Amino acid sequence: MKKYTIADVARELGVSRATVSRAMNGKPGVGKKLREEILKYIAVVDYKPNNLAKALSGGKTNFIGLILGDIRNPFYSELAFHVQRKLNSEGYVVIILNSEFDEKRELSYVQMAIRLNFAGVILLTAQNGGLEEMLTEENIAVVLINRFWPGFTGSSVISDNFKAGYIATMHLLELGHTNIGFISGHANSLASHNRHIGYVQAMNNLGLKTDHLYHQSSDLKMETGYQIGQKFMALPKKERPSAIVIINDMTALGFMSAIKEQGGCIPEDLSIVSFDDISIASVQGIDLTTVSHDTTNMSLKAANLIKESIENPAHKIEQIIINPKLKIRKTTRPYHSK
């Protein structure tokens, strides 16, 4: 079956390609009778516009960019799966862009979205502002997912990261731990910052100070968690905390691997709580105690927000906050003196 182009449609009907385009997009300059004739014909021949050609000609496409930090992380891949499935069902093409939290790469993706006239972009970025302004100036809809920063005026969907850090730490405190370390994420990540503030608040509520306690930083990768775990085991036992809050499951998995490899036992020697509740966290033998952000719900809400932003420019701006929940498994236990 022949695949019709806009040139074919224009030639068969004896009109210009611009006329066909105006008729399809509901723009003025085409009479009612001719518009009906064009729409009827393209329905009969099942003409579908070429999005790339449309992009290069300056027209808005149905492309939506999803800029993620690390698609290898199951948290991000699950998020991408649900966003893509939902928006595909609504007629949009989701283009997944993996930045590895590299700010220059994120900038290049945004510039590409502008150049190719994307309809919208969902951002999960390492940066704290700036990219969304570039997009909105070009009338490209923007939604933040799992990220937010002061001054952002668009829609977003995030987890309550302060509460996440608070409930993770409170779980350990309720088990009797008082020497609780923390492994944070990227220095400029507001999510990491808020989880740490929740940790500090929980400790301070019991009169415990944190400035002298074990604190390391990671880049959210498993291999980095492994390296931190090796350094942790090299510390004298008296300098190790009895429990630790770790910024995400991937870092925690690498950390746990190093601890076990060097003869440590979890939770007998060290209780661990992390964040994200990726699918592998519940696998027998891992059984990681972690804080869930309800990734499916977060993804679907972000997809709905970007669709509304594209299709209804006068839409109501929404900041949706997902309530985190602690999933207690087998990496924590009541404190006992060593």
Q: What is the pLDDT of residues 38-96, one digit of tens each?
A: 888 777 777 666 655 555 455 667 899 999 988 999 999 999 999 999 999 988 999 99
In this structure, the strands spanning 325-327 and 290-292 are antiparallel
Residue-range domain boundaries for the chain? 6-49, 58-159+295-322, 161-293
Q: How far apart are CA 208 and CA 194, in angstroms?
A: 18
Give residue 6's pLDDT band: very low, low, confident or very high (50, 70, 90).
confident
Query: What's residue 124's pLDDT?
Result: 86
Instruction: Give the pLDDT confidence of 266-316 residue by residue, as tens digits.
Output: 999 999 999 999 999 999 999 999 999 999 999 999 999 999 999 887 788
Tell me the pLDDT band of 125, cut-offs 50, 70 and 90.
Answer: confident
Which pLDDT does position 130 carry in this prediction?
Answer: 74
Pick from 2, 15, 9, 17: which is nearest to 57 by CA? Answer: 17
pLDDT of 211 above 70: yes
d(CA 196, CA 251): 15
DSSP string, 120-143: EEEE--SSSSSHHHHHHHTT-EEE
Q: Is the pLDDT of residue 8 over 90?
A: no
For the record, the structure tokens of 177 come out as 């731990």
Alpha-carbon span 70 to 79, nearest angstrom:
11
With cut-offs at 50, 70 and 90, classify the pLDDT of residue 262.
very high
- CATH homologous superfamily for the domain 161-293: Response regulator (3.40.50.2300)
Query: In this model, does residue 160 exceed pLDDT 90?
Result: yes
Q: Is the pLDDT assigned to residue 337 strictly greater than 80?
A: no
Average pLDDT of the chain, as a whole number: 89
- Residue 127 makes CB contacts below 8 A (sequence gap 6+) with 103, 106, 188
Of the CATH numbers 1.10.260.40, 1.10.1740.10, 2.60.40.10, 1.20.1740.10, which one belongs to the domain with range 6-49? 1.10.260.40
| Nearest C-alpha neighbor of 47 from the set 31, 24, 68, 27 | 24
What is the Cα–Cα distance from 71 to 73, expressed in whole angstroms?
A: 5
Model-level pTM?
0.80
Q: Do domains 6-49 and 161-293 have the same CATH topology?
A: no
